[in-house]
Amino acid sequence: MLKRFLSVIEDRSALVGVCGLGYVGLPLSLAFAESGFKVLGFDIDESKVTLLNSGGSYIQQYPAERVGAAVRAGRLEATSDFIRAGEPDALIICVPTPLNRHREPDLSFVVDTVNKLVPHMRAGQLISLESTTYPGTTEEEIRPRVESRGFEVGRDVFVVYSPEREDPGNTRFGTRTIPKVVGGSTPACLEAGRALYQAVIQTVVPVSSTQVAELTKLLENIYRAVNIGLVNELKIVADRMGIDIREVIDAAATKPFGYTPFYPGPGLGGHCIPIDPFYLTWKAREYGVHTRFIELAGEINHNMPEFVVRKTQDALNERGLTLNNARILILGLAYKKNVGDTRESPAVEIMEILGAKGAQVDYSDPHVPTFPAMRRYSFELDSVGLTAESLSRTDCVILLTDHDAFDYDLIGRHARLIVDTRGVFRSGENVVKA
C-alpha cells in the first residue's frame, strides 16, 4: 500500500481530500490544486460549498480569481457529502479545536469529522490531522477509530499529524513557504506523510512521533503567548511609571543577540494563541503537572481588555466626561492588522464591556464591513466610514487594530480623544496610550 501511495503522489494522480475549508483548509486546498493535484474539499457549511463550486471565495486573502481558476481547471471541487470520503487518497483534517466554557479542550469538531470519514475509508488512504491539539490526540482519538474498521495502521492505511502554521495577512510567508512539521504513527506513516506534503511545500520537517509534532505546535504558540503576557505586564508597570513601553522595547531590540522584541496590545486574538496554551495545561494535569507559568501569562493577556476600558474611562473622566452614554468608536474589529479575521478578537470583548457600562459603541474596519455572526456576541452594526465628521462627533476613538488602510493623519487631526493600544500615535494632547 505504501508503494502505491507514494506512486500516486509522485505522479500527481492522487486525489487530495481536505476536511474543513476555513482559514487553514482553503489555502491548503489551493496549494495542492495549484501544484497539479485534484482536490475534493469537505465542509458542513452548504453556503461555503456552493460558493466555492461557483468559483467564489469567502476569505479576503484568497480572492475569487484564484479559487475560480482552480475550479475551472477541474482541480478543486467542494462537497458536504462525507460518503465520498472513500474517493481521496489522502484525507487532511483542518477543523476548529476551541475551548469549552470551562476553558477545556473541545475536540468535538475533530471527533465528529473522523466519525464521518471512517465508515467510508478504504485501504491505501492517508489521514492527517492538522488541527492544533494536545499531545496524544492522534494516537488516542484518530488511530483507534481508524483501526476500528479493521485496518492495520502503517500497512493498510497511514495516520499522521502535521500542525497547520497559517498566518493570515502574512505577505512574506504562505502555505508553500512555511516549513511543515510531520509526525507519523509508524515509520511507514511518516514516509507517506512526508511524501504528501513535500509535493506542495518547500521544506518538510519530519519528527519521531505524532506526539512530538503536536507538542511542537503548542510550544510555538505558548512561546508567543508567554512573551506577549510579559510585555503586557510590563506595559502596566511602565504606564504607572509614566514610561512609554514601546520606546523601551524598540531600544532593547537594538541588542543583536539574546533578545526578541514582542509588543503589547489590547489582548490576544485569533484561533491559536488565546486557546492553544490551555490544551497543554489541561493535558499536563493528567501527568500531575501544574503549568503555572503558562496559566499566569494567559491570565495577564485575558485581562488586557479590562485594562483598555479602565484607561478609556480614566481618560474620559479627565476631560469631564463619563463612560456612561459616551460615544465610542472602535478602530479595528479584526484580531490583527490587514485581515478580516475576527476569531477571538479582543475588540469584540472590549465592545461588550463598554456597552455593559452604558457607552454607545460603533466600529470602523475596512476588512469587516458588517459585524459577523458569533456564538458569544451579537451586535447589529456595520462598519462606520472614517471622515472628519464621523471622528469629531465621537467622544473617544479606541485604536485596537492598526490596519494600514486607516488614515492616521485624519484620525489624529479630528478625533477628540484617541486611546491607542498599538503605539501608532507616539504623541499628541488628544492621545492616551493603553
Q: What is the pLDDT of residues 257-283, one digit of tens each?
A: 999 999 999 999 988 888 999 999 999
Residues 131 and 33 grouped into a single domain? yes
> Is the pLDDT assigned to residue 176 strictly greater than 80?
yes
Contacts of 193 (CB under 8 A, 6+ apart): 126, 128, 158, 160, 162, 182, 183, 184
Q: How many helices (H) and strands (E) does the chain have?
A: 16, 13
Residues 129 and 176 grouped into a single domain? yes
Could you give the count of Cα atoms lying within 13 Å of 70 in the half-sphere of its Cβ?
29
Residues 108 and 178 grouped into a single domain? yes
Domain boundary among 178, 208, 238: 208
Q: What is the DSSP letter of 257?
A: S
Residue 25, SS3?
helix
| CATH number where 424 lies | 3.40.50.720
Contacts of 369 (CB under 8 A, 6+ apart): 382, 383
Amino acid at 431: V
Residues 292 and 360 grouped into a single domain? no
| CATH number where 235 lies | 1.10.1040.10
Cell readout for 171 is 505577505
Residues 229 and 176 grouped into a single domain? no
Going by pLDDT thresholds of 50, 70 and 90, the confidence category of residue 170 is confident
Angle of the 64-72 helix axis to the 46-53 helix axis, nearest 10: 70
- What pTM did the predictor assign? 0.92
Model confidence pLDDT, tens digit, residues 352-362:
999 999 999 99
- In contact, 341 and 168? CB cutoff 8 Å: yes
> Is the pLDDT assigned to residue 426 strictly greater than 90?
no
Domain boundary among 208, 232, 265: 208
Residues 153 and 257 grouped into a single domain? no
- In contact, 167 and 134? CB cutoff 8 Å: no
List strand residue ranges (DSSP E) for 185-308, in order: 204-207
| Three state DSSP letters for 321-352 | CCCCCCEEEEECCCCCCCCCCCCCCHHHHHHH
> Is the pLDDT assigned to residue 121 strictly greater than 80?
yes
Residues 91 and 238 grouped into a single domain? no
> Is the pLDDT assigned to residue 398 strictly greater than 90?
yes
Question: Nearest-5° angle of CA 183, CA 137, CA 88?
Answer: 65
> What CA–CA distance (Å, rounded) separates 52 from 288?
46
Domain boundary among 186, 208, 230: 208
Cell readout for 364 is 470602523
Residue-range definition of the domain harbouring residue 320: 306-433
Residue 205, SS3?
strand
Residues 267 and 365 grouped into a single domain? no
The reported pLDDT for the residue numbered 427 is 81
Catalytically active residues, by annotation? 272
Going by pLDDT thresholds of 50, 70 and 90, the confidence category of residue 109 is very high
Residue 284, SS3?
helix
Query: What are the strands of the beta sheet with 431-433, ordered from one edge?
Result: 360-364, 327-331, 396-399, 418-420, 431-433
Q: Number of folded domains in the chain? A: 3
Task: State residue 65 phi and psi, 5-degree precision.
Answer: -60, -40
The reported pLDDT for the residue numbered 273 is 87
Residues 146 and 13 grouped into a single domain? yes
Residues 312 and 291 grouped into a single domain? no
Per this entry, what is the length of the chain? 434
The reported pLDDT for the residue numbered 165 is 94
Residues 6 and 36 grouped into a single domain? yes
Residues 353 and 241 grouped into a single domain? no
